[in-house]
Structure 1
Amino acid sequence: MSDIAIKVENLSKAYQLGDFSTGTLSRDLERWWALMRGKEDPFLKIGEANDRAVKGISDVVWSLKDISFDIEQGDAVGVIGRNGAGKSTLLKILSRVTTPTVGSVKVKGRIASLLEVGTGFHPDLTGRENIFLNGAILGMRKTEIKKHFDAIVDFAGVERYIDTPVKRYSSGMYVRLAFAVAAHLESEILIVDEVLAVGDVEFQKKCLGKMNDVSKGEGRTVLFVSHNMGMISQLCNKGILLKNGNIISYNQTQEVVARYLADNNDSSLNTFVFPADQKKTVGQFLNFEIVNAEGAVADKISFDDSIRLNYRLQVKQYIPGIQIGIGLQDKLQNRISTFTKEINVGNGDIIEGSIKLPDSIIAPNNYNFVIAIWNKNGEVYDIHENIGSVTIVDNGTDLSLYEGKDYGAVILKAIWE
């Protein structure tokens, strides 16, 4: 385990729903007797995967189920997955906040963790006292903590309140100080859950820069949980994708993010079949779908991936100058761009075609489309508004830290001088 910072073998974690007893004295005694003999808890055998969308029949759920992986020293690993996938449970076990039900975790070095607002802080102690308390918990001497004290306070930006009990801090101040302590005290492993979302954008940028320095500059190991794929892509060189307590993928970050987006695509949102309408005597759309570069119907597409719009329509009679158009619009129905094409067919001809939108231009956000058939005089023969739902996902642009903010409809590559 010379270059392995964290080694996880056959790790599982079960939780009992509802009451903590089994419901009867005889079953409680049976469980106790099994544990006393070092045997497996007999009632864990009927446990189920932690899928919150499905009604279960057991009161035991596996938050993590038989996962194994190694993390090398100096790696920055992003842990991603939907809510309830087991991300926070994994970090709590690695941070020794809770114990596994089955399996083992071997860690080389000291761990500094930031799992939720106020982790490791005593509310009645001042910021100064909590810095020394956290350092002591990590096994550091007072002289070592003093060496980093000024840098911690400066990074957190709470110098004015450093001698105030932290129970009077806002949640943002709490997180600023807690992150500063975890990042500056000399631990070999830094574990950060998605608490950084509490802080403001500038502080998030500051934290990401510090974690980058910790990983690439100081060679420390970082585990980072976030739903912001852009942050994960910028910071982490590897990723772990969890689903219902199982590892679906452990690979290079870009591959894991792509797998996460593929697994969470809802094709039903972007496949449309329009019924024949006899009132539409000139032309009408028959089908429309939104697909990614691989040709799969998708509602989540990476910023650097291309969007292809497939359509099928019928032109029932020939009229010179018939146009088809597809408009891209944001979630407030503001038109971003319109793409048009003239067609010269008729007599019931069916046209199948597609249009490829440029990649790495449409800014990460939510979009939909309007499709129409009309003539040069502006007479509309068929129109469908606000159809489809596609989310452009930031997977590592310079604007990753501002995900969720309005930074425009397109990202253009400019030359700075």
Structure 2
Amino acid sequence: MNAGRYDIAVIGAGVIGTTTALYLAERGLTVALIDRKGISAETSAGNAGAFAFSDILPLASPGIMLKAPFWLMDPTGPLSLPPAYLPTIAPWLWRFFKAGSSKNFERSIAAQAALMRVAEAETEKLLERTGLKHMIVARGALHLYDTERSFNSAARGWDRRTEYGISHRHLDRAGIDAIQPGIAQTFRHGTYVAGWSNVADPKAYVVALGERAFAQGVHLEIADIERMAVEDAGVRLSFTDGRSLLAAQVVIAAGAWSHRLAALIGDRIPLETERGYNTTLPKSAFDLNCQIIFDDHGFVVSPLGQAVRVGGAVELAGLDCPPNFQRSKTMLAKAARFLPELNPMGGTEWMGFRPSLPDSLPAIGRSHRVPRVIHAFGHGHLGLTQSAATAKLVADIALDRETEISLEPYSPDRF
């Protein structure tokens, strides 16, 4: 049974795919948005809700080889890797460590900064155009450090941000208290970024974008894709329920599942999954003025509209391992120590899959094997932040227009 014919089909209805579908429809294309569960049904529903335009430093850095073993030995640390998954992830880890060389690190920073410039400008336009600015609160972000040593170590990264025009302000204890009361006295050093904003409800934001997309004529298909076959008129997507859909072009924006879809057309892209955990507490749990980032522990406390969300850290365990909610419990216990007035009761635990490429940059560009297919995935922690920029770039690619920035650093074939 044929489910229709479209100018373009976007696979994945998270924040990247939904925003991309909207941009394509605004440019006059007929668009099908395909997802196995629906709008914002997976990772985009439970993220930290931050537009983190200052976050240009890749995880793969020159010092990562020294830090990673200590993180892995700490069961409560920011990085976890189940031993049984090591053989599977070993090739990705090798690429990750290579990406952390000084030369590659510099390239990644420059590429991330370029994408962030587009993201910041394009997000502002998108919010104005869709009338969704009321869902965003500009409260800034407060980075906290355990020791003077870790603060001094982080200062090098802040110097790099300054080179790219990112404003910030280093704080002593009095400065920390002025921005956010209620932080444990052990934290004596911090950095505040004013140009940081949060979405009141990440899921509601993507659903609202979906409503704007449907108003522009986007058709939503709830389906699981089984095959992709190239025909003269386009790419036929066959669903597990026996139906199919034909599109002149296809965008793969399915987050952590994207590499499995890319493999259907022969593209082997080293995408891994940073599993992230969080606990969402009632808003009354803590009087939170801004997002708090505990840099030495790899997690954040985020102000949502009617909630406080404690989450982050990284578990490298793929898509199929069962959740380990001890990770969320550990972060919540730490948050209660670091914020003595926090009430940790009454929370809801969640786990999501962050799509991560070894150099911390997304894959944005046409498949060389099947040029009708455009890849748009691998944003790691920055899917929400970079969603509007990715949508703009993909729309330009689909219409064969010149893109605002060079796409070479984000090439799906760079590995």
TM-score, normalisation: structure 2: 0.23
TM-score, normalisation: structure 1: 0.23
Higher relative contact order (CA 8 A, sep 6+): 2
Which structure shows the higher helix fraction? 2
Which structure shows the higher strand fraction? 1
